[in-house]
Amino acid sequence: MTEIDEILQRISEVIVNIGVGGNIRELIREALRRGVPPYEVFTKGMVKGITVVGQKYESCEYFLTELVGAGEVVKEGMEEIGPYLSHGEVKPVGSVVIGTVEGDLHDIGKNIVKMLLTSNGFAVIDLGVDVSARRFVEAVKETEPDVVAMSALLTTTMNSMRTTVEELEKAGLRRKVKVIIGGAPVTEEFGKEIGADSAAMDAAQGVRMCKEWLEEVAR
């Protein structure tokens, strides 16, 4: 294993080990100083680590605590490497607009889905929390994503999902995107009721659905 391979491996491992074994910012800087292209730092270092975390989550080896911790490490890493990645250098398999709906400030579940989508090659446009139907519509117009993903943790905010689907319909955008919803109170029945394409019971299922939709389009 070369020195470059070793540092990329360390970047991957510090994500998997949730920050233990090094500082991801320093490791990324070191890789760049050694001449490793930013794209390789991202794909062979960070994405590799994120992928392992996702696999551990799906196999129940990792749980919510580990995912949140790994997500924080990834966030730091993206802040460091992001400015070096040129537009178009990383070609996504598809794009997803994601956000927690209006009235809801919870973002743990959304961030987990975002991390897993990123590890599977998706470009993710994160609108954050308390996102209005109008903002979702604006984001779809601006970015033309393949999928709109909405999250809600509170039963009282679920109706915002219905409103967003209705506003996408009014704007003539509904047929241009797939809509997936998720969160603790969400059910498949509610998804069908509001006109979503799918309701995911967990983050891994949601990502699988997005992948399947893109694979169908590619056929």
Which one is predicted more confidently, 212 or 111? 212
Give residue-wise pLDDT tens across range 172-207: 999 999 999 999 899 999 999 999 999 998 887 898
Helix (H, G, I), strand (E, B) or coil at 151: strand
26: Cα within 13 Å, side-chain hemisphere: 5
Residues 38 and 129 in one domain: no
Cα(12)–Cα(10) distance, integer angstroms:
5
Q: Which domain holds residue 177?
A: 94-218
Cα(144)–Cα(137) distance, integer angstroms:
10
Give residue-wise pLDDT tens across range 47-105: 888 888 878 887 889 987 888 888 889 889 988 987 887 555 556 789 999 999 999 99
Residues 23 and 112 in one domain: no
Residues 71 and 118 in one domain: no
Cα(99)–Cα(152) distance, integer angstroms:
9
Residue ending a domain, among 84, 107, 136, is 84
Residue ending a domain, among 50, 84, 118, is 84
What's 16's domain CATH number? 1.10.1240.10
Say what the pTM is: 0.72
Is residue 1 pLDDT above 80, yes or no?
Answer: no
* For helices 3-16 and 64-81, angle between their N-to-C axes, nearest 10 degrees: 140
Distances (CA, A) of 80 to 115, 168, 217: 16, 35, 34
The answer as to whether 171 is a domain residue is yes
pLDDT reported for residue 95 = 95
- Residue 136 is encoded by which pair of tokens? 């979702």
Q: What percent of the chain has pLDDT over 70?
A: 96
